[in-house]
Amino acid sequence: MDIPPLAGKIAALSLSALPVSYALNHVSALSHPLWVALMSALILGLLFVAVYSLSHGEISYDPLYAVFAVFAFTSVVDLIIALQEDGYVVGFMDFYTKEGEPYLRTAHGVFICYWDGTVHYLLYLVMAGAICRRKRYRNFGLYWLGSFAMSILVFLTGNILGKYSSEIRPAFFLTIPYLLVPCWAGVRVFSQPRAPTCCTANTVQEEQRKGLLQRPADLALVIYLILAGFFTLFRGLVVLDCPTDSCFVYIYQYEPYLRDPVAYPKVQMLMYMFYVLPFCGLAAYALTFPGCSWLPDWALVFAGAIGQAQFSHMGASMHLRTPFTYRVPEDTWGCFFVCNLLYALGPHLLAYRCLQWPAFFHQPPPSGPIALHKKQH
């Protein structure tokens, strides 16, 4: 998978978030939630106009260029928020975290800002750079789509259902476009042509003749998916207050963060149970039976989703902003870290396997009279 050069123009424009946020932080009028929301909307509108006027050709070629440019700016803002909440910088975004979105000051909010300000930011630069050079970015787009969708769904749902539901301000409604963009972007990314592969018909036939026991890497992935499915179901039952002793022991001795009233961890586990659990079963099927051409794409989507979710969940479980009673106990820290790290690593290994050796997932070549007829003509 070729990595296109980064978009220098977008990078330069996104760094304007530093002086803009610093200046706005010292405007006394931004001490009211409504003014914070209006000013934020105005800045995003002006930013879109600037991007459109500077990059009309790129936007005409692919409208997602404008989305990536605006989101790159907000990613820098999110990184500033995370660094400020952890005490590394001061005097930039106090006005927004106090009067705009106070739930960004939670441990979960801090870590989704870190992820958005690093991983998402690099993805925006890579995808915008690919558009500038008229190159493919489908695989990067699928990973971003899963990561972005998981982040926003858990965050918004947790804001509404958790203890910060009474702290929702007008700036919250600026996140509504974030729900619509993944739908539109997903359609455009999935509609892009896949990168060509060098698999010949003989290679596909030879690979698809092998049973699961003849493919040890796939066998290991199937075992992982089965175990991950059981782990997903177990944690879903835990947050649903399953009365069994094992669930009680787990939530109090291994992951007490699941009881945190901010609701983000509970929503996250339910997202896993309703979406990741079925995917584990379907992916295990696709690794067993050939011709499931959908798996490479969806493996990337779920790798992005689970990577983002596990980063935020693991970080928030141990962060100082999480109350001490909900943090991972020191004596179970190793078990917690290993289990959650493997849970995050597995989907990435699955996506890597699908991209590097895709022959097993190709549609089987036609055989019999149809193939003979094609050869004759």
* pLDDT tier at 58, thresholds 50, 70, 90: confident
The percentage of residues in the chain with a pLDDT greater than 70, rounded to a whole number, is: 94
H-state helical runs in 133-215: 138-161, 176-191, 201-209
- What confidence tens digit (pLDDT) does each residue in 304-330 have? 999 999 999 999 999 999 999 999 999
Of the listed ranges 95-104, 241-250, 358-367, the least confidently predicted one is 358-367
State pLDDT tens for residues 181-240: 888 888 999 998 887 777 778 888 888 898 999 999 999 999 999 999 999 999 999 999
pLDDT at 199: 74
Calpha distance 219→221 (Å, rounded): 5
Give the model's pLDDT for residue 86.
93
Q: What is the structure's pLDDT at 374? A: 46
Q: Where are the alpha helices (DSSP H) in the chain?
A: 8-14, 17-25, 33-54, 56-61, 64-85, 94-99, 107-115, 121-132, 138-161, 176-191, 201-209, 216-239, 245-253, 264-271, 277-288, 295-318, 333-356, 369-376
pLDDT at site 366: 64
Backbone angle region of 263, left / alpha / beta, with phi > 0 → left and psi within -120 to 50 → alpha: left
- Name the one residue in this structure whose structure tokens are 């149970």: 273
Q: What tokens does 29 get?
A: 């009028």
Phi-psi sector, 145: left (phi>0), alpha (psi -120 to 50), beta: alpha
Instruction: Tell me: pLDDT of 370 over 60.
Output: no
